[in-house]
């Protein structure tokens, strides 16, 4: 039997456009990670996640510093 996929949006940080969001998300009761992905509402009104990327704090800070230098 498939294990239940569990996630919780701890903090919404930004709307990036085209349905993409930057959030702090906890997956499976783990520590929250930065999460950039598209979100959509299913036919039954439940928020569903699309393809995206998760970044640990150190990875996010590296990306942030790189963007600042652009």
pLDDT tens-digit profile of 7-35? 999 999 999 999 899 999 999 989 999 99
The domain total for the chain is: 1
pLDDT value at position 2? 66
Q: What is the mean pLDDT of residues 49-62?
A: 96
Look up the CATH number of the domain holding residue 54: 2.30.31.10
Give, rounded to a whole angstrom, the gap between the first and last alpha carbons of the chain. Answer: 48
Per the structure, the complete domain to which residue 46 belongs is given by 7-69
How many Å apart are CA 36 and CA 17, to the nearest integer? 11
pLDDT at position 5: 81
Structure confidence at residue 46 as a pLDDT band (50, 70, 90): confident
β-bridge mates for residue 17, sequence order: 20
Query: 41 - beta bridge partners?
Result: 47
What pLDDT score does 56 carry?
A: 97
């Amino acid at each position: 039997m498939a294990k239940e996929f569990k996630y919780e949006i701890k903090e919404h940080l930004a709307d990036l456009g085209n349905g993409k969001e930057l959030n702090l998300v906890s997956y499976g009761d783990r520590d929250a990670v930065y999460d950039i992905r598209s979100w959509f509402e299913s036919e039954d009104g439940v928020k569903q996640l699309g393809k995206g990327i998760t970044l640990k704090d150190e990875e996010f800070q590296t990306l942030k510093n790189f963007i600042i230098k652009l």
